Structure 1
Amino acid sequence: MEKAMETGKAVLPVLGIVLLLCFSIAPISPGILMAFLVGAVFLMLGMLLFSLGVEMSMTLMGERVGTCMTKTRKLGIVILMGFVLGFIITVSEPDLQVLAEQVPSVPNLILIVAVAVGVGIFLVVALLRMLFSVALPPLLVAFYLAVFLLAFFVPDSFLAVAFDSGGVTTGPMTVPFIMALGVGIASIRNDRHASDDSFGLVALCSIGPILAVLILGLIYLPENQEYVPDAIPEFSSSVELGRYFLEELPEYMKEMAISLLPIVLFFVLFQVIFRLVPGKSLIRIGIGLVYTYAGLVLFLTGVNVGFSPAGNYLGQVLAALPYRWVIVPIGMLIGYFIVRAEPAVFVLTKQVEEITDGAISAGAMGLSLSIGVSVSLGLAMVRVLTGLSIFWFILPGYALALGLSFFVPKIFTAIAFDSGGVASGPMTATFLLPFAMGACSAVGGNIITDAFGVVAMVAMTPLITIQILGLVFRVRAAKAEGEGQEAYVSAFEGMGDMDIIEL
């Protein structure tokens, strides 16, 4: 019941906003509206099953594999397994196929392999950082400095797609496993920074695809090929709508099976060799995997078939209004609520609350993410309306985020950079990106340079808002400590000499 309530709180606000727009300033066709409503039902059922399944399977699998890798005490095994895991989960990620289609000047196979190698390398870097307790901020500064140096020499048509590509490592199937892997590895360490270092895997893995696409942008000349979005489907009857959902369902069943298979095989390999969990736990994991798989199939079917057309159509209608600027506050409002419907956000906020023993609550995390995504959607809509380069937003944004990393507690930096990847999940790709694309086409902009980049913007702003939360946390902690010391001193000042002697 609790999870059903959480799911409702995450989805119903978005549903309400869209319905309000549809019945007021942004009318859409009945067929698209019906598809959106059916998609919302799929989405809620999917999120419910997914959240149950992750608790039963992915979290335990990741933690046990991470612990086992560390206990081998063999650096070569950690490096090899880390690279292989990063490579195979990236190759099997459905979003990577979509990314490859967005870069027509680079052969699909080359881009897929390059991105997968990038993720594999950076997953190894992340694992070694945890094992040797290397501070995260200097690594982030060094790698993002390399990213922005490359970005200066890359054509504009590659920039937005390159920064969007960081989202390919944050698929809802892989994020829970990778995050749990970090918890498992950190659990072996006994130092006081172990829990801080359990975060940061997603943060570093997200850099690999960006660097890979930027490097390919230096090698391959961009083609003057305009991106043509998919046509918005129309439905003349409920039977036709139902048939469309049923026709699309097998496609997402296949995608999720391909995405889940490498993780399952990786776990099975470790289970056969090291006997990670007993038989009863294996049964629980198996049931959890079924829930996870079914949940994501329903979720992705709902958002792709129902939400994506509605997002595109809404963007077109709102941007075509005489007062088109209204799309900025509306985008911010949608962004505030929609991040709560990201499947991996559930996993992140709960894990943060558990590892910090409630010091960083799920509510505070959720609020910080919502504010961050709200700001990012507002800025993304400004880009759509003005045609400003994404560089003018990404460069100062990351500079601020990296600067903050030296002034906030370590754990907040790791959580912030992880959350950027987690926030830019399937809801961003299937609703917010089509929303921006629809608006861009309505104002006559360039979809590749002006609409793409939404994922990057959504991934950037939580880095700032969550670290600001860290600053508030630090200030409050210092204030509480100061008040405690003052009370301690004043208590002694009020005593006489004999009272102190008696103490």
Structure 2
Amino acid sequence: MEKLKESISSVLPVTGIVFLLCFTISPVPNDLLMGFVLGAVMLILGMGLFTLGTDLAMTPIGNHVGSAVTKSRSVWMIVLVSLLVGVFITMSEPDLQVLAEQVPGIPNMTLILAVAVGVGFFLVVAMLRMLLRIKLSHLLIAVYLFVFLLARFVPREFLSVAFDSGGVTTGPMTVPFIMALGVGVAAIRSDSNAENDSFGLVALCSAGPIIAVLVLGIVYGDVAGTYVPVAMPQIADSKELWLLFLTAFPKYLKEVALALCPILVFFLLFQVTKLHLPKGELIKICVGLVYTYVGLVLFLTGVNVGFMPVGSFIGQLIGGMSHNWIIIPIGMVIGYFLVAAEPAVHVLNRQVYTITAGSIPQKALSTSLSIGVSISVGLAMLRVLTGLPILYLLVPGYLLAGVLTFFSPPLFTAIAFDSGGVASGPMTATFLLPLAMGTCSGVGGNVVVDAFGVVAMVAMTPLITIQLLGIYHKYRFRPEEVQEEEAASEDEDGGDIITF
């Protein structure tokens, strides 16, 4: 019941905003509206079951596997397992499947493989960073400098897709496992900064796909595809409405099963060889996996069948208006509330609250995240209307985020870059992206160049707002003690310490 209450409070604001739009400036057909309502119900049930399953299964599995791999003290074992986990889980990530289907001109499997290899490689980098105690901010600055250098040689049709891929890969399947894996690895370190270093894995795993797709763009050349608009279902009655959802269930039953299989195989392998967990804990994990499976199936069916067509339709209507600039404030309001409906955001909030023993309030973190996403969606809609190149926004944004790493406490920097990845999940890919595409079609823009990139914008602005929150905490609470601890820590091991 607690999880259902959380999901209701997350989904209802977005649903209310869409209803308000439907009854005022952008009326939609009754069949689409009823599909949206049924999709919202599935979204609430699915998110509640998924978050419950994450607590019971995904987090314990990640913790146990991470600890077992690191206790082996074999660097080759850590590298191999991290690479395989990154590749296989990413290939099954539902968000990536959604993005690949919407990108014209690139074979789905080509894009998915490139992104999966990027995540796998950078998960290895992230694990080695934890073991070698390399400062995260320095590594992130170097990685993103390389990203923007590489972007100069890539066709513009690939730029938005590349930065979008960095956001969608860290979704509801990847984030709980990767974050728990980091906690498991950190658990074997005895220093005071181990738990702080468990953050930052998602941040690095978000950068890998960007580099992989940029390289793919250099090799692949110009995208020679045509954007295909989202199909609008024609529903005559309630029976056809239910059949529309019912026919979609097999697809997502298969997708989520493929997503869970690699995790299950890895866990069983480690259970037989290293873990040997008691029967009671195994049963609890199995029940949690069932909750996770059912929850994700309901969630993905609801957002893909119910939310995506409505988002595209509303975008087309508003884009065709003479005062289409109104999509900017509308997008900002939707973005503020939409981030609360992302399953992975709840996972991050709980882990931050647990590891910091409540020192970082969930409300402050959620509000900072919502403000960042709101700004990002407004900027993304401005791009759609004006055709502003995406690098004109991303370069200054990441430059500011890089500068803030020198002033924000290291823990907040790691959380900020992780938040950028978790904020851009299935809700962004299945509602905001179709909304941007529909608006771009309405104004007659280039959908591939101008509409893609909304996920990238959502992934960028939390880096700034949450680091600003960190600076506020740093100088608002015990500033003299914090600065003394930070200076002592930097002298000792590079400055990784909780400073808030």
Same fold (TM over 0.5): yes
Q: For residue 217 of structure 2, what is the amino acid of its counterpart?
A: G
- Determine the structure 1 residue equivalent to 2:301: 301
1:336 match: 336
Measure, in 2, the Cα distance between the counterparts of 1:195 and 1:120: 22
| Identity percentage of aligned residues | 62
Alignment length, in residue pairs? 484
**Structure-1 separation of matches of 2:304 and 2:117:** 28
Structure 1: stretches of 5+ with no match in the other structure: 483-503
Which digits, 9 at most, give the CA deviation of each residue in 1:454-490, with x for residues without a partner? 11000001111111110101011244759xxxxxxxx
Look up the match of 1:265.
265
C-alpha contact 1:65 1:276 (8 A) present in aligned 2? no
Q: Is the 8 A contact 2:230 2:312 kept in 1?
A: no
Mapped partners of 2:317, 2:393: distance in 1: 26
User: What is aligned with 1:417?
Assistant: 417
CA contact (8 A) 2:373 2:462 kept: yes
Per the alignment, residue 428 of structure 2 pairs with 428
1:199/1:418 contact within 8 Å kept: yes
Q: CA deviation at 1:229?
A: 2.1
Aligned to 1:439: 439
**Secondary structure of the structure 2 residue equivalent to 1:252:** helix
Contact 1:49 1:292 in 2 (8 A): yes
Which one is further off, 188-197 or 92-101?
92-101
Whole-angstrom CA distance in 2 between matches of 1:165 and 1:178? 17
Query: Structure 1 residue 229 and structure 2 residue 229: aligned?
Result: yes
Task: Name the CA shift for 1:422/1:19 in 2 (closer, same or farther; >3 Å).
Answer: same
CA distance in 2 between partners of 1:230 and 1:84 (Å): 34
Paired residues of 1:68 and 1:276 also in contact (CA < 8 A): no
- The residue that corresponds to 1:11 in the other structure is 11
Q: Is the 8 A contact 1:102 1:161 kept in 2?
A: no
1:493 alignment partner in structure 2: none
Preserved CA contact (<8 Å) 1:312 1:436:
yes
1:117-128 aligned at under 5 Å gives the runs 117-128=117-128
2:467 maps to 1:477? no
Structure 2 residue matching 1:408: 3-state secondary structure: coil
Q: Distance in 1 between matches of 2:224 and 2:148?
A: 24
Query: What does 1:53-92 correspond to in 2, within 5 Å?
Result: 53-92=53-92
1:389 corresponds to: 389
8 Å contact from structure 2 (residues 38, 302) kept in 1: yes
Tell me by how many angstroms 1:362 deviates.
Answer: 1.2
Matched, 1:206 2:219: no
Q: Distance in 1 between matches of 2:347 and 2:13?
A: 20
Flag the 1:151–1:228 CA change in 2: closer, same or farther, 3 A: same
Equivalent residue, structure 1, for 2:448: 448
Does residue 345 (structure 1) correspond to residue 345 (structure 2)? The answer is: yes
The Cα shift of 1:250 comes to 1.0
For residues 129 and 238 of structure 1, the distance between their equivalents in structure 2, rounded to whole angstroms, comes to 54
- Equivalent residue for 2:21? 21
Partner in structure 2 of residue 490 of structure 1:
none
Aligned partner letter, 1:397: G
Aligned to 1:43: 43
* Equivalent in the alignment of 2:180: 180
Once the two structures are superposed, the pairs formed by residues 287-326 of structure 1 within 5 Å of their partners are 287-326=287-326
* CA distance in structure 2 between the partners assigned to 1:239 and 1:421 by the alignment: 39
Decide which moves more: 290-299 or 161-170.
161-170
CA drift at 1:230: 2.6
For 1:169 and 1:105, locate their aligned partners in 2 and report how far apart those are by CA, in whole Å: 20
Aligned AA (2:221): L
Equivalent residue for 2:283? 283
1:370 match: 370
Deviation at 1:413, TM superposition (A): 0.8
In structure 2, what is the Cα distance between the partners aligned to 1:432 and 1:102?
13
Conserved 8 A contact 2:105-2:224: no
1:141-177: CA deviations, max 9, x gaps? 1111110001011111000000001124212112101
- Quote how far apart the aligned CAs of 1:113 are: 2.8
Kept in 2: contact 1:105–1:220 (CA 8 A): no
Alignment-derived partner of residue 465 in structure 1: 465
Structure 2 unaligned spans of 5+: 483-500
Instruction: Supply the RMSD in Å over aligned alpha carbons.
Output: 1.7
Instruction: Kindly provide the amino acid, as one letter, of the partner of residue 199 in structure 1.
Output: F
Mapped to 1, the partners of 2:127 and 2:479 lie a distance apart of 35
When residues 276 and 420 of structure 1 are mapped into structure 2, their CA distance, relative to the original with a 3 A threshold, is farther
Shift in CA distance, 230/20, structure 1 to aligned 2, threshold 3 Å: closer
Separation of aligned partners in 2, 1:23 and 1:336: 21
Aligned residue for 1:206, secondary structure, equals helix
The residue type paired with residue 288 of structure 2 is: G
Bigger radius of gyration among the two? 1
Map of 1:192 onto structure 2: 192
Q: Distance in 2 between matches of 1:16 and 1:60?
A: 36
Separation in 2, partners of 1:247, 1:95? 20
1:117 Cα deviation after fit: 1.8
How far apart are residue 256 of structure 1 and its match?
Answer: 0.4
Paired AA for residue 372 in structure 2: G
Q: What displacement does 1:204 show?
A: 0.4
Q: Is contact 1:169-1:202 (8 Å) kept?
A: no
Letter in 2 for 1:402: G
Matching residue of 1:485: none
Distance 1:92 1:242 in 2: 27
- C-alpha distance in 2, partners of 1:109/1:322? 40
C-alpha distance in 1, partners of 2:211/2:342? 25
- Summarize the Cα distance change of 1:380–1:168 in structure 2 as closer, same or farther, 3 Å threshold: closer
Letter in 2 for 1:50: F
Distance 2:261 2:479 in 1: 50
Asked if 1 retains the 8 angstrom alpha-carbon contact of 2:98 and 2:430, the reply is: no
SS state at 1:294 partner: helix
Q: How far has the Cα of 1:62 moved from its partner? A: 0.5
The Cα offsets for residues 47-74 of structure 1, whole Å up to 9 and x where unpaired, read as 1111111111001110111111111111
Post-superposition offset of 1:8: 1.4
Shift of 1:225: 2.6
Paired residue type of 1:164: D
Amino acid corresponding to residue 20 of structure 1 in structure 2 = L
8 Å Cα contact 1:170/1:425 also seen in 2: yes
> For the residues of structure 2 that align with 1:370 and 1:394, how far apart are their CA atoms?
19
Residue 494 of structure 2 aligns with which residue? none
Query: Is 187-196 or 381-390 further displaced after alignment?
Result: 187-196
Matched to 2:427, the amino acid is M
